[in-house]
Every structure is written in structure tokens, then in C-alpha cells.
Copies of this chain bind each other. A is one copy, B any other.
Amino acid sequence: MSRISKEVINQAKQAQEAARIMAGVPTATKNQALLKIAEELEKSMVEILAVNEKEVLRGQEKGLAGVLLERLKLTEQKIRGMAEGLRKLAYLEDPIGEVPKMWRRPNGLQIGQIRVPLGVIGIIYESRPNVTVDAAGLCLKAGNAVILRGGSEAFDTNQTLHQKITVALSEAGLPVHAVQLIQTVDREAVEVLLGLNEYLDVLIPRGGPALIKRVLDEARVPVIQTGAGNCHIYVDSAADLDMALKIVFNAKTDYVSVCNAAESLLVHQMIAAEFLPQLYDLFQANGVQLRGCNRSLKLVSGIFPADKTDWGKEYLDYIMSVKIVDSIEEAVKHINTYGTGHSEAIVTDNYNQAWRFLQEVDSAAVYVNASTRFTDGGQFGLGAEIGISTQKLHARGPMGLKELTTTKYIILGQGQIRE
């Protein structure tokens, strides 16, 4: 066994032991730890920023892309944001110990389901160092142990943040192995993690499509898939066109690089001639490119022709694909074919069309007359989230504290046996 294998397996074992302890830790202690991490981060502001600055410089020298540098770079404001996030987490209700249901059987057995931590969570992520703190906080509040594997370009920053977390855990009397960071940039460590189904209860990849695909393809640990959002808006024949204009504009342009931004527009043929020129003018004035089907090109000459790959694309940019459809059936079918199961909206004043869309679109979040930008734990009122799940097992949509837990059955008897 390689040295890296040994180290990662050892970390996983320590995480499993820590998880057993964490499962029984009182809420007050967990909250205190969160507040202490926040304090440590703010106290160590200068140190963290210095380490991060050096790392950003090295990234520049290595020719790291601008977007990645932007994500990597910490500021005083970003660190205060992390601390604030932890303090908010401390105020959220602890999901552990909730008994959502309990009932009595004819034989007197009292049976309930109690919410318990998942155990050991592995998180594999890319350049943003704030994930180190956010993910640690969420896993900790839900009573789990977590093993973090950040991007190599953020290795030093993550190490420093992790040191502060460790100090705080220790001060709060929690096991320091409850939050661990992989201690090497070697990719072998990821390989090892993906196979550790004996110790890890779930893996959550956070990052681009390549990372997620690799984890899904290779992991023997159960994976929760987050991320890709090729979100659609369907403007129905019965849409209020002013509302449609506002919703499409907001969903596309409010924040183009996030997963709940709209990428593709479907327009009913009955209103296309009226709606598309208005949208085109609005987009034109704001630097948004439209790539459309042949019918749309005939209506508005400035629309670029879309090729077949456009329907499946998550642009994360000031670009939107547009297709004219003959019916809601066609719209739903298009979405269920090309969508990523994230967020889709219909704009309509027709009750039956709204109902059909809600029923038939197979996505984590389905909207009537609202922007897809609301798919977010905070916006839904669920609190901080670790990502948006686009799969159907265990968690679908924003994954918050509850999604980082499981349940077990508890059965209280008085000597019952099965006859």
C-alpha cells in the first residue's frame, strides 16, 4: 500500500471514530464550536490573507485562468462572510434528534424514526477556499465528520483555514478529526477516497462537470450529484408578456455564472412574433446574445443560429438559446430531453398549462411565474446549503442540514416477540 493510501485510510478511520462521538454531541457544544471557528478566522485575518496572497501570486505565475484566480482570491470581506455564515449556522435548528414520526402498533410496540447524522462525509471541490469553511460548518452542525479535499491551487489557503478550524474544535472540546483536510495535492488521494465505502457514507463533489463525472464514474462510495444547471424558461401562449420579459431577463442576467441561471428559452409559436423582438431589444441593450432555432431567426434577424449542441449547453455566460415550440407537450419534452433536472419555469396565466408543467417537468425545482434564480437554500428559506442536488435519491434540490442526515428506526418494547 502506498504512503498516500495509508494516510488517507488512516484519516478515514479517524473520521469514523470522530463521527461516533459527534453523533452524541449536544447542540450547544456544536454551536459553540461554530462560533469559535468564526472567531478564529477573524482573529487570523492577516495571516490567512498573507498565505492566500502568496498562493494567488503563484497561481498567476503558473498562468491560472482569471476566473480561477478570482475564486481563489480571499478578501477581508470574504473572510468576514465565512464567519458570518458560521454564526448564522449556529442559530439554525439542529436537525439531529428530531422524531418526525412515531406510532404504536397493535402489539404495543412504539416505533419511531429518529434523525441521526450520516456519519462520515467526503467533499471534493475545486478552487474556492470558502468551501473549506462552509462545508465544515454544515457537516459539523449536522453531527458528521468530514474529509475535505480542495483544489491543488488553493492548498496552502485551505491548510491555513483548516488549522483555524482545528484550533476551534479543540477549544470547544470536539474531536479534531471531525474536520480533516487531505494533506497532499497528489491525485492519488482522490482515487483512494473514491473507494473507501467502508469508512465514508457519502461523497459530494462540488465543481465543474469533469470533476463530477469522474467522481460518478469511479466512486464506490455513494455520491450525491450537485451542480449542472441547464435551466429553461417556457413562455406559454397564455403568458403575461411583460412578466415573461422580466422573468427571462432576471433569470438570465442576474448572475450568469451560477447553476440556477436560465440558459434556454422556449417560446410558444402564438406569441413568438410579439415576444421575441422585445426580448431581443432588451438583451441587445444589455449585451446578451440569443442563439435560436430556424423559426426564431426568421422573426428576428439579429438572433444567431443555434446548432444542435446549444440545447444541451450550460453557458454560464451572457448567452441564451431560444426555440419556438408548437405546444406545451413539445416544451416539456424538450426540457426533459435536454435539461439537467435542475430548475425550470413556465410563464403563463392559464391554470391548466401551469398544472401540466408542474406535473410533467422532471426537475428538482419547477416554477410557475417566477425566476429560476430562487433555487437556493437561503431563498427557499431552508438556510445554508452545501449544493443543489440534481439527482433523485436521498436529496433533490438545495441540500441543507437535513440532507446531511439520515434516520434510524427506534423501537420501544415491553418484551414483545413475533409469533
Contacts from A to B (Cβ < 8 Å): 20, 23-24, 103, 105, 109, 111, 113-114, 116, 118-119, 197, 201-202, 216-217, 220, 222-224, 240, 243, 246-247, 249-251, 254, 336, 358-360, 362-371, 373-375, 379-381, 391-394, 396-397, 406-418
| Residues on B with beta carbons closer than 8 Å to the beta carbon of A417 | 246-247, 249-251, 254, 370-371, 373
| Residues on B with beta carbons closer than 8 Å to the beta carbon of A336 | 20
Q: Is the CB of A119 within 8 A of B370?
A: no
Q: A378 CA to B61 CA in the complex, in Å?
A: 65
Give the interface centre of A249, A368, A370, A373 by most chain B CB atoms within 10 Å: A370
| Residues on B with beta carbons closer than 8 Å to the beta carbon of A359 | 23-24
| Residues on B with beta carbons closer than 8 Å to the beta carbon of A249 | 417
Given A20-B362, A392-B201, A370-B105 contact (CB < 8 Å): no
10 closest A-B pairs by CB: A370-B413, A250-B417, A373-B418, A394-B394, A392-B406, A365-B409, A369-B413, A243-B415, A370-B416, A393-B394
Given A369-B415, A417-B254, A375-B111 contact (CB < 8 Å): no
Q: Is the CB of A247 within 8 A of B415?
A: yes
Partner of A415, one of B240, B366, B392, B409: B240
| Residues on B with beta carbons closer than 8 Å to the beta carbon of A380 | 105, 111, 409
Q: Is the CB of A368 within 8 A of B418?
A: no
Partner of A364, one of B223, B397, B409, B412: B409
Q: How far is the CB of A198 from chain B (nearest CB, A)?
A: 11
| Residues on B with beta carbons closer than 8 Å to the beta carbon of A365 | 408-411
Main secondary structure of the interface of A (DSSP, over half): mixed
Q: How far is the CB of A104 from chain B (nearest CB, A)?
A: 9
Q: Is the CB of A111 within 8 A of B381?
A: yes
Q: Is the CB of A412 within 8 A of B368?
A: yes
Given A201-B393, A222-B222, A415-B246, A409-B366 contact (CB < 8 Å): yes
Partner of A103, one of B223, B254, B374, B381: B381
| Residues on B with beta carbons closer than 8 Å to the beta carbon of A412 | 367-370
Q: Is the CB of B396 within 8 A of A407?
A: yes
| Residues on B with beta carbons closer than 8 Å to the beta carbon of A374 | 109, 411, 416, 418
Q: Is the CB of B118 within 8 A of A418?
A: no
| Residues on B with beta carbons closer than 8 Å to the beta carbon of A414 | 369-370
Q: How far is the CB of A230 from chain B (nearest CB, A)?
A: 15
| Residues on B with beta carbons closer than 8 Å to the beta carbon of A20 | 336, 360, 362
Besides A20-B336, A380-B409, 13 more A-B contacts (Cβ < 8 Å) are A24-B359, A240-B415, A362-B408, A364-B408, A367-B413, A368-B412, A370-B412, A370-B416, A371-B418, A374-B416, A375-B409, A393-B406, A397-B407
Q: Which residue in chain B gives the minimum CB-CB distance to A119? A: B392
Q: A296 CA to B1 CA in the complex, in Å?
A: 38
| Residues on B with beta carbons closer than 8 Å to the beta carbon of A103 | 381
| Residues on B with beta carbons closer than 8 Å to the beta carbon of A216 | 197, 220
Partner of A396, one of B396, B397, B406: B406
For this complex, 12 residue pairs linking A to B, each with C-beta atoms less than 8 Å apart, are: A20-B362, A23-B359, A23-B362, A109-B374, A201-B392, A243-B415, A366-B409, A366-B411, A369-B415, A370-B415, A371-B418, A396-B407
Q: A243 CA to B413 CA in the complex, in Å?
A: 11
Q: Is the CB of A408 within 8 A of B397?
A: yes
Q: Which residue in chain B gives the minimum CB-CB distance to A202? A: B393
| Residues on B with beta carbons closer than 8 Å to the beta carbon of A406 | 392-393, 396
Q: A118 CA to B394 CA in the complex, in Å?
A: 11
Q: A413 CA to B370 CA in the complex, in Å?
A: 5
Q: Is the CB of B243 within 8 A of A391?
A: no
Q: Which residue in chain B gives the minimum CB-CB distance to A248? A: B417
| Residues on B with beta carbons closer than 8 Å to the beta carbon of A240 | 415
Give the interface centre of A369, A396, A418 by most chain B CB atoms within 10 Å: A418
Q: Which residue in chain B gives the minimum CB-CB distance to A225? A: B222
Q: Is the CB of A119 within 8 A of B408?
A: no
Q: Is the CB of A222 within 8 A of B418?
A: no
